[in-house]
Amino acid sequence: MEYTLNCNGRLLHLGTPQVMGILNVTPDSFYADSRKQTEEDIALRVQQILQEGGSIIDVGGCSTRPDSEPVDEQEEAERLRFALNIIRKEAPDAIVSVDTFRPDVARMVVEEYGVDIINDVSEGADTKMFRMVARLGVPYILMSVQPTIQEMLLHFAREVDELRSYGQKDIILDPGFGFGKTLQQNYEVMNEVEQLRMMELPILIGISRKSMIHRLLGITPSEALNGTTVLNTLSLMKGADILRVHDVKEAVECVKIVAATKAQQTINRK
């Protein structure tokens, strides 16, 4: 099934998987190279994401790395205002997603800056956030902290029904690699992630340089690009519609190679 997202009146087609580039305006994200806090660094990162073929810029103002202490809502909002002012000046037509679990922050970024997508990494269904995104009318990324595909499907079904009851239209599912899962469970979910297709909703995969890679291989996040590329490729073969990544160029190459492979498979079937 070919999905589209309505991003403030613009349709983003997912017939070809899209790449979402990460821009963290935090001092403590787990991958140091993703932290951008000066005006120049933010502007350069925006240019890099777009020039390398990313179609979505995902901005985070509050670190969600394991064992981190979230900043308060005011600090998160101030960081996002600073970044979004620069992004909108640098690339006014870019599709922008904001990574937040706070409904009032979601409202602020959509109403004040025209943010196109809310990427929610909260650890459970939040009725207040569900109502907020439905009112705002923007696509919503719903993440799961469930440790198995079976539990994930059950929770997603209930949460999607609740979102629909509030009038939410565009919903993207994120299996939440690295959230609420052991190392083994992360790979069990990856092995079965194509089962999420039965929900008939687009799927976002975010495994870029995460601990499921560097812990398994005994390396650091800065050394985890190769492992990320392997898992991004596997995710695309299993039906991912959006890749959320630090390394945009390499992810775009994965999309092109997998698309060429799938096209050849289609020809061979005929």
Query: pLDDT tens across 157-170, in order?
Result: 999 999 999 999 99
Question: Model-level pTM?
Answer: 0.92
Rounded Cα gap, residues 190 and 238, in angstroms: 9
Residue 263: pLDDT over 50:
yes
- 162 vs 17: CA distance, rounded Å: 27
Residue 38 has pLDDT above 90, yes or no: no
**Total length of the chain:** 270
Cβ contacts of 43 within 8 Å, gap of 6 or more: 86, 90
Residues with Cβ within 8 Å of 269's Cβ and at least 6 positions away in sequence, in order, are none
More confident residue, 17 or 126: 17
- What mean pLDDT value characterizes the chain? 92
The per-residue pLDDT for 26 is 78
24 neighbors 60 (Cβ within 8 angstroms): yes
CA pair distance 40, 113, nearest whole angstrom: 20
Q: For residue 161, count CB atoms less than 10 angstroms from its CB and return exposed for 0-12, middle for 13-18, buried for 19 or more.
A: exposed
Question: Does 63 score more than 80 pLDDT?
Answer: no
- 220, pLDDT greater than 70: yes
- pLDDT per residue over 72-118, tens digit each? 899 999 999 999 999 999 999 999 999 999 999 999 999 999 999 99
pLDDT at 238 over 70: yes
Residue 151 clears pLDDT 80, i.e. is over it: yes
pLDDT of res. 34: 46
Q: Catalytic residue positions?
A: 210, 244
Mutual orientation of helices 127-136 and 103-113 as an angle, nearest 10°?
Answer: 10
Round to whole Å and give the CA distance between 145 and 173. 12
Residue 222 has pLDDT above 60, yes or no: yes
Measured at the CA of 93, the angle between CA 142 and CA 131, to 5 degrees, comes to 30
Residues 43, 228: Cα–Cα separation, whole Å: 25
Lowest mean pLDDT among 23-27, 102-106, 143-147, 232-236: 23-27
All residues at 6 or more sequence positions from 111 whose CB lies less than 8 Å from its CB, including other chains: 136
Burial class (CB in 10 A: 0-12, 13-18, 19+), 218: exposed
Cα–Cα distance measured from residue 203 to residue 198, given in angstroms and rounded to the nearest whole number = 11
